[in-house]
Amino acid sequence: MKIKVILIAIIIMILGLALGYLMIADESPSNPEDFGGEGDENSIISGNIIKDSENDLGSMADSGGSSDGGSGGNGGGSSGGGGGGNSGSDSGSSENCRESQISYSIQNFTYISECNDEQNGVCVDKNIYCDLDAYNLDSEVDGYFGIGMHVVEEGYQIVDSLSYDFQEIMITNENKKKFQFVFNFQSSGEEGNANKILTCVYTTEKVPKKEICE
């Protein structure tokens, strides 16, 4: 009988201890905020680090995409000469490209002979004015045009030129410039140059060039 009482008492004690432990466990804080601020701050910082790293990767990806697009754009612009590689480009350029004068036009060529002084019906002082317009017809290339102007006696050739002058002028694409020359002749007698019938003959001596590839 005593043994039964002792066993029952032991069982009751064990059950009491178990219930007490469960009650203590139920009273522990279930909200993570009850553990203090340091853990929360670390969690927030960690979250920010992850978020920032994601943003950085996004920026790098965007930058990379933009850079690739820019490179692709630049490559596209220069692909005519170098799309297939440097060696191929150099070879193709030397074989299929050449330099050629740009398109131009010479218009409004005029010359005026003016006697400044006459003695006994003989001109002893004469000016010759020679003008022309040079047109750069190219849509892209600017450059210097050089015009040579010769004064010859009427009926003679440039090889018999009595005077010569040269002018060089920059003309931008699809634009024009006027070349103006003035020559003065002074002489005496009927056979002097000032008394001769003189005219102007021009030569186009310099024209810009550009590379043409076929």
**What is the domain extent for residue 203?**
100-213
pLDDT number for residue 5: 62
* DSSP reduced 3-state for 128: strand
pLDDT number for residue 178: 98
Taken in order 29, 30, 33, 38, is the CA torsion positive or negative? positive
Say how far apart CA 142 and CA 170 lie, in whole Å: 7
Domain-embedded: residue 131: yes
pLDDT number for residue 83: 33
Domain-embedded: residue 95: no
Is residue 115 within 8 A of residue 195, CB to CB? The reply is no
pLDDT number for residue 27: 53
Q: Which domain CATH number covers 132?
A: 2.60.40.10
pLDDT number for residue 12: 77
Q: DSSP assignment, residue 60?
A: H
From the DSSP assignment, how many helices (H) and strands (E) are in the chain?
4, 8
Domain-embedded: residue 146: yes
pLDDT number for residue 97: 92
- Pairing relationship of beta strands 104-119 and 198-206 according to DSSP bridges: unpaired
Domain-embedded: residue 6: no
pLDDT number for residue 204: 97
Residue 134 sits at φ, ψ, to 5 deg, of -105, 130
Domains identified in the chain, total number: 1
Q: What is the mean pLDDT of each run of 10 residues along the chain (214 residues)?
A: 68 72 53 42 30 32 30 27 37 73 97 96 98 97 98 94 98 97 97 96 96 88
Domain-embedded: residue 152: yes
